[in-house]
Amino acid sequence: MLRCFLLHSHDLVADHNVSAPYGAQLQSLFPRRKFARRCVLIFAVSSVNQFHAMAAKQIVVFGFGAQGSAQARNLAGSGEKVAVFLRPSSPRIEEVKKTNIPFLTNMKQAAAEAEIAVILFSDGEQPSLWKEIEPSLPKNAAVIFAHGFNIHYKQITPRADLDIILVAPLAQGDTLRSDFAEGKSTPCLIAIAQDATGSAKKTAFDYARAIAKDGPFIETTFAEETETDLFAEQAVLCGGLFSLIRTAFDTLVENGYNPDIAYFCCLKEVRALANLIHENGIGGARERISDTALYGDLTRGPRVIDNHVKDEMKKILGEIKSGEFKEELLNDRKKQNPLLRRLKEQGKGHLIERIHEKFKGGGS
């Protein structure tokens, strides 16, 4: 079986396996082009040399969720030899069937075939599933993670003969996939925890290029990726932002303002500002807001996010670095997440959720 790849048009043939006779199969893929059998063979071999950066090693992607689905499709689009493992009960089996990417439902068999194993199960499930995968992995296989948590906090301690690699796309799975399909690159963090073969770094960069084109790729360590990722989601992206929105909403409502208006001002308009910052940075966004908004930003912003907030951020970072946050999280998980479930239920009862139900889909 030979995987076919067309220069500059790889998405056109993504997910198509081409086996001999090549001419006939390419003809059916591209009915309006004329393929001579000999010229197709030369074309196919040269494409392997140019694009099979991982030397046609068998890649097995474990899990087909947000990242698994995107990475497997991008690998196929880059002409890599990729298969997917899903559990037999997975609701995503029909979805993977539509891609033409081969899939396995036997974990041991999938592990035994994996010259490169990509662990894209949910982070909480990885340590127990790893115990099933590891014994069957071939000697000197490469193992790729998309987040450093389980290696950094020693929830997984792999065999010494394995290359342990981090390729963490700095994007949600659907963005990684849509950017690739549109020919755009995605930034990734890259790190090596174990280099048993001496070629872990090459494998990491080859893999990153196959899922994210030209990056940029930033070299880091498992520790730095894990700690900055946890800190950013706690201080800004989830914890900080969600609390900021709800506290501002509560302040308006408690002072007699219409909750519908508070919802639009404090929640819905965040999207426009997030896009502005994403495109232009904070300085550029400041060039594009009204002079009144700018004055309010510069004089009041530092009062909202003051030194007390920074001190709290430092404490939170300390808990991440010391492992205190990890211990707390894993203890809750061990007991089936009682704290997580209680706090999630509490959040659902907030007025802002009822207003959101009312206006779902509408607004800016």
Residues annotated as catalytic are 147
Q: Binding to ligand NAP by residue 168, rule CB under 6 A? A: yes
The Cα–Cα gap between 256 and 79 comes to: 60
| The Cα angle at residue 266 between residues 265 and 267, in degrees rounded to 5 | 105
Closest separation in Å from C-beta 173 to ligand NAP: 5
- Give whichever of 172 and 258 is closer to ligand NAP, judged by the CB atom: 172
Query: How many CB atoms neighbour CB 206 within 10 A?
Result: 20
Q: What is the DSSP string of 272-294?
A: HHHHHHHHHHHHHHHHHS-HHHH
| The Cα angle at residue 78 between residues 72 and 80, in degrees rounded to 5 | 65
- Give whichever of 25 and 69 is closer to ligand NAP, judged by the CB atom: 69
Burial of 93 from C-beta contacts in 10 A (0-12 / 13-18 / 19+): middle
Q: Binding to ligand NAP by residue 64, rule CB under 6 A? A: yes
Q: Binding to ligand NAP by residue 79, rule CB under 6 A? A: no
Q: Binding to ligand NAP by residue 61, rule CB under 6 A? A: no
| Residue from 87, 246, 321, 356 binding ligand NAP (CB under 6 A) | 87
Q: Binding to ligand NAP by residue 53, rule CB under 6 A? A: no
| Residue from 77, 79, 158, 169 binding ligand NAP (CB under 6 A) | 169
Could you tell me if 59 and 116 are in contact, meaning their C-beta atoms sit under 8 angstroms apart? Answer: yes
Q: Binding to ligand NAP by residue 218, rule CB under 6 A? A: no
Residues in the chain: 364
- Stretch near ligand NAP under the rule CB under 6 A, chosen from 13-21, 122-130, 218-226, 232-240: 122-130
DSSP 199: -
The Cα–Cα gap between 11 and 16 comes to: 10
Question: What would you report as the CA-atom Rg of the chain, rounded to the nearest whole angstrom?
Answer: 24
The identity of residue 43, as a single letter, is: F
- The site that binds ligand NAP (CB under 6 A) totals a number of residues, namely 22
| Residue from 101, 129, 230, 352 binding ligand NAP (CB under 6 A) | 129
Q: Binding to ligand NAP by residue 66, rule CB under 6 A? A: yes
- Give whichever of 6 and 156 is closer to ligand NAP, judged by the CB atom: 156
- Give whichever of 61 and 267 is closer to ligand NAP, judged by the CB atom: 61
Interface with ligand NAP (CB under 6 A): 63-68, 86-87, 90, 92, 120-123, 125, 129, 146-147, 168-169, 172-173
